[in-house]
């Protein structure tokens, strides 16, 4: 059997193609594991609970003012009270969205075509990051990315 000498370029190309194949296989396994785990809804619920708890830590004087002076018409009379109320109430629908996604993740197969929810989360996160860059809106980026991957996989596997 004759031996064929390979050039330096052929050896380098062969080594790079093997490394690329390894990276593709590793990335594929990582994505599969990332998609299969039940974490997006729980992540969003954790962000929501943190948001609600932080209301009492970041706005203690406003919370005390609300409890001492009554609840009726508090958000209109004072700008800081209005911010506190909205900060608290934003966590509740966010928790419900996380609960809904977690319910879907609990099933063996994620339901396809959830682009409306995905688009809403992307818009909310992007707008929040643009308006208030030094905020917790950045915590939604991993969940939005994970939800995108899960939705894309569900759409591809749909019959």
Concatenated DSSP letters of the chain: ----PPPHHHHHHHHHHHHHHHHHHHHHHHHHHHHHSS-HHHHHHHHHHHHHHHHHHH-HHHHHHHHHH-STTHHHH-HHHHHHHHHHHHHHHHHHHHHHHHHHHHSSSPPS--HHHHHHHHHHHHHHHHH-SSSGGGGHHHHHHHHHHHHHHHHHH--
Q: What is the pTM of this model?
A: 0.78
> What average pLDDT does the structure give for the chain?
84
Q: Is the pLDDT of residue 101 over 60?
A: yes
Q: What is residue 10's predicted lDDT score, i.e. its pLDDT?
A: 58
């Amino acid at each position: 059997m004759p031996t064929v000498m390979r050039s330096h370029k052929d050896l380098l190309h062969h080594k790079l193609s093997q490394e690329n194949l390894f990276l593709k296989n590793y990335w594929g396994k990582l994505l599969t594991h990332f998609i299969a785990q039940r974490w997006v809804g729980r992540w969003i619920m954790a962000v929501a609970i943190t948001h609600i708890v932080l209301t009492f830590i970041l706005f203690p004087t406003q919370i005390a003012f609300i409890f001492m002076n009554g609840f009726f018409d508090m958000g209109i009379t004072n700008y800081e009270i209005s911010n506190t109320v909205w900060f608290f109430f934003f966590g509740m629908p966010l928790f419900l969205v996380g609960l809904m996604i977690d319910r879907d993740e609990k099933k063996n197969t994620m339901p396809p075509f959830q682009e409306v929810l995905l688009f809403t989360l992307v818009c909310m996160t992007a707008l929040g990051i643009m308006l208030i860059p030094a905020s917790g809106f950045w915590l939604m980026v991993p969940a939005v990315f994970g939800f995108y991957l899960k939705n894309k996989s569900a759409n591809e596997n749909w019959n």
